[in-house]
Amino acid sequence: MTRLYRLDCTAPQIEARFGLCARDDPWAGGYVAPAKFAPIITAGREFVAGPRPAGARLEPRMAPRLWGVSPPPLADDPSRRITSVRNTESPFWIGNLRNSEFRCIVPATSVMLWGSGTDYEGRRNKHWFASQSEQIFAMAGVWKDEDVPAFALITMDPQGQARAAGCRSMPLVLPDNEEARQAWLHGSWDSARKLLERPAMLSQLE
């Protein structure tokens, strides 16, 4: 499970990387943990949930969101926020995933995943991964309209080096092309979920 990632770049660098219009986001770089704010990229309405304007295609832009959405009312621990989506067909998520307004891109420069086994002090092994080719990569996410709008990461079965390290899951990293990003932000759910079948791979850092 992903419980920590880094975004070691500034807001202007993120905007330049993904071709976004410059705005006033204050992000200066650092780590992101659950219940912390982080920049995400959305193509939906920014502050109020609802349909996009008729006949208009909103351009992707950066907006702050809290990592971790509020759990369902009957959750065992109502105070524990949900940071990842493993079952994309869950009734809790499917309405937001089918509505592309709520799908988002989560930029990152590296991500930590828990692996199997423990270290010499008995602590569970953790591994850091990053893109082989890009300093800033794009993870797939979904956000919910709450008192404080919040997002979660889409996760999947581990592949490649994440699987070799004994990780139980990994975030869905989008292929580094505009077609994949547009499919996630604007496409139908049928086209967007096909990205789960062809994720970009991450390399383990030393």
| 60-90 b/e (C-beta count within 10 Å ≥ 16 → b) | bbbbebbbbbbeeeeeeeeeebbbbbeebee
pLDDT at 68 over 90: yes
Which tokens hold the place of 46? 């920014």
pTM beyond 0.75: yes
Instruction: Give every CB contact of residue 172 below 8 A, 6+ residues apart in sequence.
Output: 139, 140, 153, 154, 155, 156, 195, 196, 199
Q: Domains along the chain?
A: 2-204 (3.90.1680.10)
Tens of pLDDT along 167-199? 999 999 999 999 999 999 999 999 999 999 999
Tens of pLDDT along 147-158? 999 999 999 999
- pLDDT confidence tier of residue 55, bands split at 50, 70 and 90: low
